[in-house]
Amino acid sequence: MQEHHFSTPRSARYFTLGSPEHAAEVWFVCHGYGQLASRFLERFRPIEAERRCIVAPEGLSRFYLTESAAERRVGASWMTREDRLHEIDDYVRYLDAVYGKVVTRDARVTALGFSQGTATVCRWTALGSSRIDRLVVWGGEVPPDLDLKRLRVPTLTLVYGTRDEFFTPKIIAVTESRLREHKIAYDLVPFDGGHEIDDATLRRLI
């Protein structure tokens, strides 16, 4: 048996709040595992503003979250461990393409990833061709396999809920240790909550 790979065009989608044409700020927000971009984007209504465009790309792999034929809820994923390097290459190119469509002027760009989306935005920042001014890692870790020498971003912020069952104090400590080892400056922003986008904390990031 031989494995083969080739590139093929496919359709992808993203959602926006606000217009990019006159935006002074553009936010790219990447959802977590099993979420859809449209629903995830609703969590960012608290920071909607006239000169801020918020862009929610959707992971390229969709799947059914439930087996019930009556409900059949759908979610999306950025990648799995299967053929992972090609999936990473695919979504980095995809995010660069969305960036090229949206960022048409000298706007300040924030990339925010939540849960599984944290690895996505970190890899995009390190491996992609887009200029990212601020990276927000919310409720997830900087990928352990990422070469942090490539993660050069003016501002890095780690956000976590003190009751987050996934992004635990142990993972936070390991992440901080790696960042300090590579002399990468960062801000740590905790909030009283779980594995979620918190409205008050989101406003603090503005």
Which residues have C-beta within 8 Å of that of residue 6, sequence separation ≥ 6?
none
Structural domains of the chain, with CATH: 14-204 (3.40.50.1820)
pLDDT (0 to 100) of residue 175: 94
12-20 mean pLDDT: 94
Measured CA to CA in angstroms, residue 63 lies from 21, 29, 66, 71 at distances of 33, 20, 9, 13
56-73 mean pLDDT: 83
pLDDT (0 to 100) of residue 104: 81
For residue 27, pLDDT beyond 70: yes
121-141 mean pLDDT: 97
SS3 call for 145: coil
pLDDT (0 to 100) of residue 10: 83
* Nearest residue to 156 via CA among 176, 138, 134, 173: 134
* Nearest residue to 174 via CA among 148, 135, 201: 148
**Between 37 and 64, where is the model more confident?**
37
Lowest-confidence range among 21-30, 60-69, 78-87, 114-123?
60-69
Average pLDDT, the chain: 93
pLDDT (0 to 100) of residue 69: 65
* Nearest residue to 33 via CA among 99, 95, 118: 118
For residue 113, pLDDT beyond 80: yes
